[in-house]
Amino acid sequence: MPNATSRTDAMLRQLREKLTQAGLYGVVIPRFDPYQGEVVAPHDERLAFLTGFSGSAGIAAVTADHAVLFVDGRYQVQVRAEVDTNVFEIAHFFDFPIETRLEQKMPCGQLHRHQSHAGAERFTQSWQQP
């Protein structure tokens, strides 16, 4: 998977540069359209574009130093076949929820120390630790 790895690395590097420019610590990239539909038009396939994952349910969380892709049990085999696991950690939606992962990877003190925020697409929710 050398071509996929170099492409994924380059994409993450560019994304992280944009995060830094925007003053964000991380971003959440869902696999749904503005209406949260499961059938997503090609121009809304942001998750597949970044990760290579083509399943119908997934969310990626990318921070300055970590990238994790959350999928449910239906996709545990598929995601490992499509996504470079040297670049993205794979986590299960329900066994290890995104909220838990973000709390561990983005502790409040760390966010304050770096004055960072996490972002999401405009049709989803953005947040900032108090």
**Cα(87)–Cα(20) distance, rounded to whole angstroms?**
19
Q: What is the signed CA dihedral for 16, 22, 26, 28, rounded to 10 degrees?
A: -100
Q: Which two tokens stand for residue 11?
A: 């994409």
Per the CB < 8 A criterion, the answer to whether 60 and 68 are in contact is: yes
Confidence of residue 112 (pLDDT cuts 50, 70, 90): very low
> Rounded to whole angstroms, how far apart are CA atoms 96 and 93?
6
Output the average pLDDT for the chain: 77
> Which domains, and CATH codes, for the chain?
2-115 (3.40.350.10)
Average pLDDT over residues 119-130: 47
Q: What is the pTM of this model?
A: 0.76
